[in-house]
A and B are shown apart, each in its own frame.
Chain A
Amino acid sequence: GENVEQHPSTLSVQEGDSAVIKCTYSDSASNYFPWYKQELGKGPQLIIDIRSNVGEKKDQRIAVTLNKTAKHFSLHITETQPEDSAVYFCAASTGGTSYGKLTFGQGTILTVHP
């Protein structure tokens, strides 16, 4: 089955700096890659996703890049703010009827210091 590795496990940055979280996956059939943000005591919130037919997607301060050849994808957050502090999870699935059957990475605890 699919295996998703996520790094780093913790990331500490100063407000205004950029943050990058990287994930690798093992199943070449995977073609859908969402990112979730989970704040303390809450459920995961979808923040951005990318499908295998594109290499990059951007939404304001958040961007995701995908390299299907190397089987890795990354989350980039620019101009970080204290409100960005949370646990971030990457995930992968083979899409189609299996969009919801996600394999998650281990999570990254992001701390943004004011």
Chain B
Amino acid sequence: SAVISQKPSRDICQRGTSLTIQCQVDSQVTMMFWYRQQPGQSLTLIATANQGSEATYESGFVIDKFPISRPNLTFSTLTVSNMSPEDSSIYLCSVQRASGAGELFFGEGSRLTVL
């Protein structure tokens, strides 16, 4: 599996602020995705991070709230903008390896608490 590093691993944020989460992978990957896991819940896909172009968002998620960048094959960022307590979640970076068969691997997640 790919080694996926996320920063920060956890943070406590104030309402109305924004936070950027970084995801770094140790090898080239074809696809990168961002998922959200609300407290005690399952995982929901936020968007596909496309290299060099705008991310593709799933229903219910918009670029103004969750801007995403992917400047190269091994790095992506997710920003959670103008946060409210409802944004308190685990945000997970996930990747498909270029050499794999399509399996999706997850990072350890970034645990955000918004006060």
A interface, CB within 8 angstroms of B: 1, 32, 34, 36, 42-46, 49, 89, 95, 97, 99-107
> Do A46 and B48 touch (CB < 8 A)?
no
Knowing A34-B103, A34-B104, A99-B104, say if A44 contacts B43 (CB, 8 Å): yes
Name the prevailing secondary structure of the A interface residues: loop
> Do A49 and B103 touch (CB < 8 A)?
yes
User: What is the size category of the interface that chain B forms with chain A?
Assistant: 20 to 34
Complex: A81 Cα to B95 Cα, angstroms: 29
Q: Which 6 A-B pairs have the closest CB atoms?
A: A99-B102, A43-B106, A104-B42, A43-B108, A104-B43, A100-B104
> Do B96 and A99 touch (CB < 8 A)?
yes
> Do A100 and B96 touch (CB < 8 A)?
yes
> Do A43 and B107 touch (CB < 8 A)?
yes
Residue with the greatest number of chain A CB neighbours at <10 A, chosen from B48, B104, B107: B104
> Do B106 and A44 touch (CB < 8 A)?
yes
Complex: A89 Cα to B37 Cα, angstroms: 12
Complex: A43 Cα to B6 Cα, angstroms: 11
Of B1, B4, B33, B43, the residue contacting A46 (CB under 8 A) is B1
**CB-defined contacts of B58 to chain A, threshold 8 Å:** 101
22 example contacts (A-B, Cβ-Cβ < 8 A) are as follows: A1-B59, A42-B108, A43-B108, A43-B109, A44-B92, A44-B106, A46-B104, A46-B105, A49-B103, A99-B31, A99-B96, A100-B48, A100-B102, A100-B104, A101-B58, A102-B43, A102-B104, A104-B44, A105-B42, A106-B41, A106-B42, A107-B41
In the complex formed, the residue of A with least CB distance to B96 is A100
In the complex formed, the residue of B with least CB distance to A101 is B45
Q: Give residues of chain B (1-49) contacting chain A, Cβ–Cβ below 8 Å.
A: 1, 4, 31, 33, 41-45, 48
Complex: A25 Cα to B109 Cα, angstroms: 26
**CB-defined contacts of B108 to chain A, threshold 8 Å:** 42-43
